[in-house]
Amino acid sequence: MTNTWQDIKNANVVLVMGGNAAEAHPCGFKWVIEAKIENKAKLVVVDPRFTRTASVADIYAPIRPGTDIAFLSGVIRYLLENDAIQHDYVRAYTNASLIVKDGFAFEDGLFSGYNEEKRSYDKSTWDYELDEQGYAKVDDTWQHPRCVMNLLKKHIDRYTPEMVSRICGTPQDKYLEICKLIATTAEPAKALTSLFALGWTQHSIGAQNIRTMAMVQLLLGNIGVAGGGMNALRGHSNIQGLTDIGLLSASLPGYMNMPKDGEVTFDKYMETKLFKPLRPGQTSFWQNYRKFFVSFQKAMFGAAAKAENDWAYDWLPKLDVDGYDILRAFEMMNNGQMNGYICQGFNPMQAFPDRGKIRRGLSKLKYLVVMDPLDTETANFWQDYGPQNPSKPEDIQTEVFQLPTTCFAEENGTLVNSARWLQWHWKAADAPGQAKTDLWIIAGLYNRMKTMYAREGGAFPDALLNLTWNYADPHEPEPEEVSKEMNGRALADVADPATGAPLLKAGQQLDAFAQLRDDGTTMSGCWIFAGSFTDKGNMTARRDASDPREAGIAPNWAWAWPANRRILYNRASANPEGKAWNPGKPVIEWNGSKWVGVDVPDYGPTVKPSDGVGPFIMNAEGVGRLFARTMMNEGPFPEHYEPFESPSENVLHPKVKSNPAARVFASDRAQMGVSSDFPYVGTTYRLTEHFHYWTKHALINAILQPEEFVEIGEVLAKEKGIEQGAWVKVSSKRGQVICKAFVTKRIKPLMVDGKPTHVIGCPIHWGFTGVARKGYGANTLTPSVGDANTNTPEFKAFLLNIEKTSPPPAIDVAQGPRNGPQKKGGSL
Ligand SMILES: Nc1nc2c(c(=O)[nH]1)N[C@H]1C(S)=C(S)[C@@H](COP(=O)(O)OP(=O)(O)OC[C@H]3O[C@@H](n4cnc5c(=O)[nH]c(N)nc54)[C@H](O)[C@@H]3O)O[C@H]1N2
Ligand SMILES: Nc1nc2c(c(=O)[nH]1)N[C@H]1C(S)=C(S)[C@@H](COP(=O)(O)OP(=O)(O)OC[C@H]3O[C@@H](n4cnc5c(=O)[nH]c(N)nc54)[C@H](O)[C@@H]3O)O[C@H]1N2
Ligand SMILES: [Mo]
């Protein structure tokens, strides 16, 4: 989230599109209700299904899964055509006036620079025209045909209301009603908040869905202000923390990049990191990259990371591909290129697409380690045989090690929530049985490997042997110790570079990332967390809920990265002179000598409004990007592409149907179905009553939602002769699920390009372990194709068929895997 949960109450319009907050975020959703009641906010919901969120909406519109870019591009067209943009904001705080290079082009669905063989772009034309000093050229009058504003107008011109309705199946009157309401927030004192989750991310054009909305928000002047923002409602309680500390395979902590194998030296690596400002006087904050990186290396390798060895740069792994994401890992397993796999708190048999492929991959491993408090489908993958899985358990040679762990309630630690708050939690109970903490297990693995390397040597012992491991008990580090390490501390006395005055004493915990140094005198495991655990104490354990100005900012509750800032880009809440756009809800303002307000300002108190420093301090141009330069892999502007499996042609450019840069392996392409065999659109989602694949192990949840089902509309049910509760066979090119049909009024056929299109909804929660009835799992059906930027699988739009069928033979709930052998227990 750029903003916070509490801040939602400040919105005038709440747009829930690409998610179902009332069901997936029921606690946070109270702030939407608060906005409706206290702030007279209007709630708009755009979802293929009429959800519980939709049930309290002022306007609900249906949409065909995978077509949000067309819808939102249409919104941009509407805003520009009706002059409903916040002009002063757009001029001062976006790149609308910057001039793009000659040579940039878009034709027949492709941007300039496409390489069909590699399925990727040479992005060199997707950039600004520079002047002699290396600054982007500007035309404030918006006359230049290649200024971003004019290119944008041209690009979105095709998305007329007729075209939007033709692609999305959304009735035109509903769509225009929504455009009109969204447009009201172009007023400086009005804000719209965008709440989204997987309905936008889980597509082959997922990241561009979100970008399109970010562009809408920039045009409306809704970023950085109270009640505005782009608010990703995140999933697991600590999934924000997962990305923050660099657990994605191509990242290092704090959103730094893992080195690539071409970056053979530290200097070469740094060449692409220090973004020189693209406009005069801009902050371009990543210029501090070296400080963050060197401090990270000092946290990793301590005294062994020295200037002479380039801070042990050589000890970091180098990527030979874009990243070892999960789709790639399973592709490699299937190709026999991966021997072992450690699943820590991960159940890919349930969670990843094309379950047949997941199972085949796991079957080829030599060993599989599962660290989990529960007995998962992944740990038992070898049991899941039957009609869809020809291999028998005795034919699978994979050795499975199950290491039972504690769960969050059985240990101390922090969770980072969607609002970027690090919140400490306290252990509530001892773990049962032989369960051990993840820290104990990882420490055990590390200590054993270190001993083996020290004793026997090995191909590359340096990184392992030099890893910092200064914990009081090396066999079980305390969460507090790890948190302090993430925050970072001074390794020597540090002086203020400007005045020479002493700033930090050796050993002192850092108060802020501004104190980080690139000379080896500071260390920090994750620079954005600097300030979370200082010598004053554990800031994440703070529980003061007071909110002095009722602004929706409780500055002393937990700690938010960066710098305890609650609203990102909050400089944009004030006009270029430093006065709040919305005097009723100011965030920060210039009082003549400094920045004051309810939140921690974006940058230092001495930066005057007249200095002209833009609010988007991470960007080299200092402004928000309507044209995304070289950032995205499929284009600097968003474009509508069909899902990889879709019943519709791409009416904008039939030759380029789907995202030309999306991640798809050849073997997966062969597994794509066509609409003549699979005529309906499938989508998958969660239910309030279950949390993923855990709660089927809990009796109460298993009683609330006992068994697998799919939802279909009444029209389709009638066409196919399927009664309420009938057994159906739901199939895709990759597999089939036999479950009950739930016939509902909440899913209606959509008229897409003149044809009725039916959506089949598949909740995701059932499998073959736990106490709920056994199910196949929705990912038996889903395709293995990933977004071009994030590799997030396309779980939300694919092709299905559905037929009435007789009950499957093994529905006795006391049996084990539906397709598998008898197993004791597991009855409801
Ligand atoms: N009770 C419960 N809560 C949870 C979870 C859980 O398992 N159970 N899981 C947590 C996790 S990990 C996550 S990531 C979040 C996910 O939170 P959400 O993303 O809100 O959850 P989903 O149920 O996947 O809902 C996605 C919604 O998007 C809609 N949708 C599908 N395709 C499209 C599309 O193309 N366009 C639009 N506009 N909408 C579309 C679906 O109909 C559905 O209503 O939930 C978290 N909260
Ligand atoms: N078709 C389809 N597929 C989806 C989705 C969808 O919408 N549609 N959503 C996707 C999303 S957003 C997500 S997040 C994934 C979720 O996929 P997973 O994260 O794989 O699923 P979970 O069941 O949430 O969690 C995995 C395991 O973590 C264990 N665990 C809990 N606490 C701890 C702990 O402290 N330590 C350890 N070691 N283990 C622990 C749980 O017992 C559980 O078995 O599913 C994805 N798959
Ligand atoms: Mo998630």
Is there a domain that residue 673 lies in?
yes
Burial 566-598 (b: 16+ CB within 10 A, else e): bbbbbbbbbbbebebbbeebbbbbbeeeebebb
Ligand 2 atom at minimal distance to the Cα of residue 686: 7
Q: What distance in angstroms lies between residue 350's CA and the mean position of ligand 2's atoms?
A: 8
Nearest CA to ligand 2 atom 40: 345
Instruction: Tell me what pLDDT residue 656 has.
Output: 98
Say whether 195 sits in a helix, a strand or coil.
Answer: strand
Alpha carbons 687 and 710: distance in angstroms, whole number: 12
Looking only at the bridges linking them, the beta strands covering 120-121 and 114-115 are antiparallel
Given this model, what pLDDT does residue 780 score?
Answer: 95
C-alpha–C-alpha distance, residues 345 and 489, integer Å:
30
What tokens were used for 580?
């709040």
Residue-level pLDDT at 480: 98
The closest residue, in CA terms, to atom 9 on ligand 1 is 235
d(CA 466, ligand 1 centre) in Å: 43
Query: Which one, of 149, 230, 208, lies nearest residue 572 by Cα?
Result: 230
Q: What is the CATH classification number for the domain harbouring 763? A: 2.40.40.20
pLDDT at 809: 62
pLDDT recorded at residue 512? 96
Going from the Cα of 255 to the center of ligand 2, the distance in angstroms, rounded, reads 22
Measured from the Cα of 197, ligand 1's closest atom is 19
The residue among 201, 236, 271 that closes a domain is 236
- Please check whether residues 672 and 534 belong to one and the same domain: no
Question: Is 198's C-beta closer than 6 angstroms to any atom of ligand 2?
Answer: yes
Give residue 386's pLDDT. 64
Query: Does any ligand 1 atom lie closer than 6 A to the CB of residue 18?
Result: yes
Q: Which residues of the chain have pLDDT under 50?
A: 811-828
- Residues 159, 637 contacting (CB under 8 angstroms): no
* Nearest residue to 168 (alpha-carbon basis) of 242, 64, 48, 245: 64
Q: Whose CA is nearest to atom 10 of ligand 1?
A: 235
* Residue 209 Cβ contacting ligand 2 at under 6 Å: no
For residues 473 and 452, state if they share a domain: no
Q: Is residue 595 lining ligand 1, measured as CB closer than 6 Å?
A: no
**101 and 74 within one domain:** yes
Report if residue 435 sits inside a domain.
yes
Ligand nearest to the Cα of 779, by number: 2
Per-residue buried b or exposed e for 495-517, using 16+ beta carbons within 10 Å of the residue's own CB: eeeeeeeebbeeebbbbebebbb
Q: Whose Cα sits closest to atom 19 in ligand 2?
A: 346
Distance CA 320, CA 280 (A): 36
pLDDT single digits (tens) 772-821: 999 999 999 999 999 999 999 999 999 999 999 998 765 443 344 444 43
Question: Quick one: which H or E segment has residue 172?
Answer: helix 172-183
- Residue 38: which CATH number? 3.40.228.10
How far is it, in rounded angstroms, from Cα 724 to Cα 712? Answer: 10
CB contact at 8 A, 488 and 299: yes
Is the C-beta atom of 112 inside 6 A of ligand 1?
no
CA distance 777 to 763: 9
Domain total of the chain:
4
- The residue ranges of DSSP E strands in 154-233, in sequence order, are 192-196, 230-232
Q: Which residue among 240, 341, 694 has the greatest number of ligand 2 atoms within 8 angstroms of its CB, and so is best to mutate? A: 694
Structure tokens at 395: 């034919």
Q: Is 243 within a domain?
A: no
pTM: 0.97
**Domain assignment of residue 818, yes or no:** no
Residue 237 contacts by C-beta under 8 Å, 6 or more apart in sequence? 408, 415, 417
The answer to whether residues 23 and 124 belong to one domain is yes
Same domain, 99 and 186: yes
Angstrom distance (rounded) from CA 64 to CA 60:
13
Q: Is any ligand 2 atom within 6 A of the Cβ of residue 684?
A: yes
Residues 174 and 70 in one domain: yes
How far, in Å, from the CA of 246 to the mean position of ligand 1? Answer: 24
User: Mind listing the pLDDT tens digit for each residue in 373-404?
Assistant: 999 999 999 987 666 667 788 889 999 999 99
Whether 334 and 299 map to the same domain: the answer is: no
* Ligand 1 pocket member 453 (CB < 6 A): no
H or E element that contains 70: helix 68-81
pLDDT at 817: 43
Q: Identify the pLDDT of residue 603.
A: 81
Minimal-distance CA residue to ligand 2 atom 26: 346
The whole domain housing 314 covers 259-318+465-539
Q: Which of 539, 568, 603 is the last residue of a domain?
A: 539
Positive/negative CA dihedral, 519, 525, 526, 532: negative
DSSP letters spanning 735-773: EEEEEEEEEESS---EEETTEEE-EEEEE----SSSSSP
Specify if 392 maps to a domain: yes
- Give the Å distance between the CA of 709 and the centre of ligand 2: 20
Whether 522 and 495 share a structural domain: yes
What mean pLDDT is reported for the chain? Answer: 95
| Residue 223 belongs to some domain of the structure | yes
236 alpha carbon – ligand 1 mean position (Å): 12
C-beta of residue 663 within 8 angstroms of C-beta of residue 327: yes
What pLDDT shows up at residue 810?
54
Mapped onto helix, strand or coil, the DSSP state of residue 113 is: coil
For residues 490 and 522, the answer to whether their CB atoms sit within 8 Å is yes
| CA of 197, nearest ligand number | 1
What distance in Å separates the CA atoms of residue 525 and residue 487, rounded to the nearest whole number? 7
Q: Cβ atoms within 10 A of the Cβ of 274, count?
A: 13
Measured CA to CA, the distance from residue 693 to residue 687 in angstroms comes to 11
CA-to-CA distance for 482 and 472, rounded, in angstroms?
A: 11
- Nearest CA among 608, 516, 624 for reference residue 223: 624
Nearest one of 685, 764, 567, 705 to 53, comparing CA atoms: 685
Q: Whose CA is nearest to atom 4 of ligand 2?
A: 351
As a whole number of angstroms, the distance between CA 10 and CA 759 comes to 35
Say whether both 81 and 213 belong to one domain: yes
Residue nearest to atom 46 of ligand 1 (CA): 235
CATH of the domain at 438: 3.40.50.740
Distance CA 373, CA 437 (A): 10
671, 798: one domain: yes
Same domain, 47 and 186: yes
| Residue 414 CB partners (closer than 8 Å, separation 6+) | 238, 241, 422, 423, 424, 425, 479, 483, 532, 540
**How far, in Å, from the CA of 236 to the mean position of ligand 2?**
8
pLDDT of residue 605: 76
- CA torsion 542-547-551-556 (nearest 10°) is -20
Q: What is the pLDDT of residue 274?
A: 83
Ligand 2 pocket member 351 (CB < 6 A)? yes
CA of 347 to the centre of ligand 2 (A): 6
Inter-axis angle of helices 172-183 and 68-81, nearest 10: 60
Assess whether the C-beta atom of 46 lies below 6 angstroms from ligand 1.
Answer: yes
Q: How far apart are the first and last CA of the chain?
A: 39
Vertex 800, ends 807 and 727: CA angle to 5°? 15
- Please, which residues bridge with residue 471 across strands? none
